């Protein structure tokens, strides 16, 4: 009898406990089904900056923590050798330009007149030596000249004739001007010289290191005097705009959150402050929640990686900072490309 009373008293308590547990779980998971909380971190985005050539570092113009803008000169290499190579390439280009210009212009009138005069002179000499030979040959028939005199006169006449033919050919070349093939070769050589100059200019430009985007210098790795190589970083640049939180969206919520959905972001560093944001990216493929996410009920679920872009005008949200994202579900979506930080 006593045992029956105890059982009768326990049953209502167990029933009440079951009801309370169900109410607690319902309140915990779905008391506000219009709101979703996501947990993540501000994505760390940075670049390792290096030179495109190998040489000793001449100077580094920034310090750790400096804010830089896109295109700003950050560091330089020694350029003595490159300066000499560039000067040599420029001189070679000027010489080749003059060579091509001379060929394209053809022979000058003064050169043609000079060639004509030389031909006239050699022709006259050839006629004179030929007449002398003929005269001595007739004297030989009369026994008034020796065979040696005839042979000498013949040699002089032959040489004079050869000189006349050479000057005649030279005059013809002057009158005809340069060959098209010679001009084509000169143009090709000029193009090759221009390419060598561009290469020298590019190599000199590679001795400068510029910021690829706005950001903050997070780390200064090399110092002046160090040897720099293309595979050796010189500086680490952290990108600060745009800023987004990397979080993981549970698969059942995919139908209630879309690109452009507005969000509120909070951090432990500023618990009383929220930052406006919006969903700017949703991964096209599902994955299991990364182990870095410490929410127990999420670690075994299929989720989608999302980026929640944040308005961070005072740059209080730092890279790697933990953040909580609150999203009102089933929103009327604006244009997904809208920048919600604009006034």
What CATH code is carried by the domain that includes residue 55? 2.40.50.100
pLDDT band at 130 (very low <50, low <70, confident <90, very high): confident
Residue 270 pLDDT > 80, yes or no? Answer: yes
Residue 341 has pLDDT above 70, yes or no: no
Domain assignment present for 340: no
- Tokens in use for 99? 């060579």
Is 191 contained in some domain? yes
Give the number of C-alpha atoms closer than 13 A to the C-alpha of residue 212, restricted to the C-beta side: 12
Residues 135 and 157 reside in one and the same domain: yes
Same domain, 158 and 227: no
Are 108 and 88 contained in the same domain? yes
| Statement: the pTM of the whole predicted model exceeds 0.85 | no
Pairing of strands 73-77, 322-328: unpaired
Report the pLDDT value the prediction gives residue 63, as an integer from 0 to 100: 95
Residues 90 and 169 in one domain: yes
Identify whether 20 is part of a domain: no
Rounded Cα gap, residues 110 and 112, in angstroms: 5
For residues 49-69, average pLDDT: 94
Summarised one tens digit per residue, pLDDT across range 6-35 is 445 454 444 444 444 333 333 444 445 788
> What gap in Å lies between CA 113 and CA 110, rounded to an integer?
5
Distance CA 78, CA 224 (A): 10
Could you tell me if residue 119 is inside a domain? yes
Cβ-contact 317, 309 below 8 angstroms: no
Residue 12, in any domain of the structure: no
Strand, coil or helix: what is 43?
coil
Number of domains forming the structure of the chain: 2
- 164, 181: one domain: yes
Least confident of 50-64, 137-151, 198-212: 137-151
Let me know whether 73 and 115 are in one domain: no
| Cβ count near 112 (within 10 Å) | 15
Give the residue, 253 or 61, on which the prediction is more confident. Answer: 61
Say yes or no to pLDDT of 51 above 80. yes
Give the residue among 318, 305, 202 at the shortest CA–CA distance from 254.
Answer: 305
Sign for the pseudo-dihedral over CA of 236, 318, 313, 307: positive
Of 22-31, 144-153, 197-206, 281-290, the poorest mean pLDDT is in 22-31
Do 223 and 133 reside in the same domain of the chain?
no
Residues 182 and 153 in one domain: yes
- Identify the domain containing residue 134 by its residue range: 83-203
> Do residues 54 and 146 share a domain?
no
What is the band of 206 on the pLDDT scale with cuts at 50, 70, 90? very high
Query: What pLDDT, on the 0 to 100 scale, is given for residue 166?
Result: 86
Instruction: Quick: pLDDT tens for 274-328.
Output: 899 999 999 988 887 665 555 555 555 788 899 999 988 888 888 888 999 999 8
Query: Does one domain contain both 199 and 50?
Result: no
Could you give phi then psi for residue 180, rounded to 5 degrees?
Answer: -60, -35
Measured CA to CA, the distance from residue 265 to residue 245 in angstroms comes to: 9
Q: Which two tokens stand for residue 105?
A: 């212009």
Averaged pLDDT score across all residues of the chain? 80
Cα 192 from Cα 270, distance rounded (Å): 62
Q: Is 92 a residue whose pLDDT tops 60? A: yes
Whether 65 is covered by a domain: the verdict is yes
- According to the model, what pLDDT value does residue 18 have? 40
Assess if residue 324 is contained within a domain. Answer: no
Domain assignment present for residue 135? The answer is: yes
Residue ranges with strand state E in 207-332:
208-210, 215-220, 227-228, 235-238, 243-250, 262-267, 274-282, 287-288, 302-310, 322-328
Tokens at 336, concatenated = 């997904």
DSSP class per residue in 46-78: EEEE--SS-EEEEEE---TT-EE-TT-EEEEE-
Q: 122 and 185: one domain?
A: yes
Out of 154, 181, 203, a domain closes at 203
Would you call the peptide bond into 242 cis, given omega within 30 degrees of 0 as the criterion? yes
3 state DSSP class of 146: coil
The number of helices, as runs of H, and strands, as runs of E, in the chain is 5, 15
pLDDT in tens, 218-264: 999 999 999 999 999 999 999 988 899 999 988 888 888 888 889 99
User: Kindly report the CA angle at 133 between 131 and 134, in degrees rounded to 5?
Assistant: 65
158 and 66 belong to one structural domain: no
Using alpha carbons, list the distances in angstroms from residue 31 to 15, 34, 250, 262, 332.
22, 9, 17, 21, 22
Distances (CA, A) of 136 to 2, 127, 132, 150, 155: 170, 14, 6, 6, 12
Query: For residue 263, what are the β-bridge partners?
Result: 277
Nearest to 263 by CA among 309, 324, 327, 317: 327
> Percent of the chain scored above 90 by pLDDT?
35
Q: What share of the chain is helix, strand, coil (3-state, %, to 5)?
A: 45, 25, 35
């Amino acid at each position: 009898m006593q045992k029956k009373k105890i059982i009768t008293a326990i049953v209502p308590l167990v029933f009440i406990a079951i009801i309370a547990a169900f109410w607690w779980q319902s309140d915990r998971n779905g008391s506000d089904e219009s709101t979703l909380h996501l947990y993540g971190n501000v994505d760390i985005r940075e670049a390792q900056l290096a030179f495109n050539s190998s040489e000793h570092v001449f100077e580094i113009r920034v310090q750790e923590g400096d804010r830089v803008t896109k295109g700003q000169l950050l560091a330089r290499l020694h350029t003595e050798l490159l300066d000499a190579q560039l000067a040599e390439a420029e001189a070679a280009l000027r010489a080749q330009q003059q060579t091509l210009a001379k060929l394209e212009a053809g022979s000058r009138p003064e050169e043609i007149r000079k060639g004509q005069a030389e031909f006239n002179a050699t022709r006259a000499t050839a006629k004179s030596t030929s007449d002398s030979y003929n005269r001595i040959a007739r004297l030989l028939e009369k026994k008034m000249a020796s065979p040696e005199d005839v042979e000498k006169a013949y040699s002089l006449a032959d040489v004079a004739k050869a000189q006349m033919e050479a000057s005649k050919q030279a005059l013809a070349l002057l009158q005809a001007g340069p060959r098209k093939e010679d001009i084509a070769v000169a143009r090709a050589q000029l193009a090759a010289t221009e390419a060598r100059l561009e290469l020298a200019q590019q190599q000199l430009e590679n001795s400068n290191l510029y910021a690829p985007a706005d950001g903050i210098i997070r780390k200064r790795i090399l110092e002046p005097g160090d040897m720099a190589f293309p595979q050796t970083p010189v500086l680490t640049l952290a990108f600060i705009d745009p800023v987004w939180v990397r979080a993981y969206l549970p698969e059942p919520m995919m139908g209630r959150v879309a690109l452009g959905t507005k969000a509120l972001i909070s951090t432990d560093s500023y618990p009383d402050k929220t930052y406006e944001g919006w969903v700017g990216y949703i991964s096209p493929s599902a994955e299991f929640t990364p182990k870095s996410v410490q929410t127990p009920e999420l670690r075994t679920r299929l989720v989608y990686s999302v980026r929640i872009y944040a308005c961070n005008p005072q740059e209080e949200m730092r890279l790697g900072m933990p953040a909580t994202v609150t999203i009102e579900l089933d929103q009327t979506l604006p244009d997904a490309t809208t920048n919600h930080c604009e006034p």
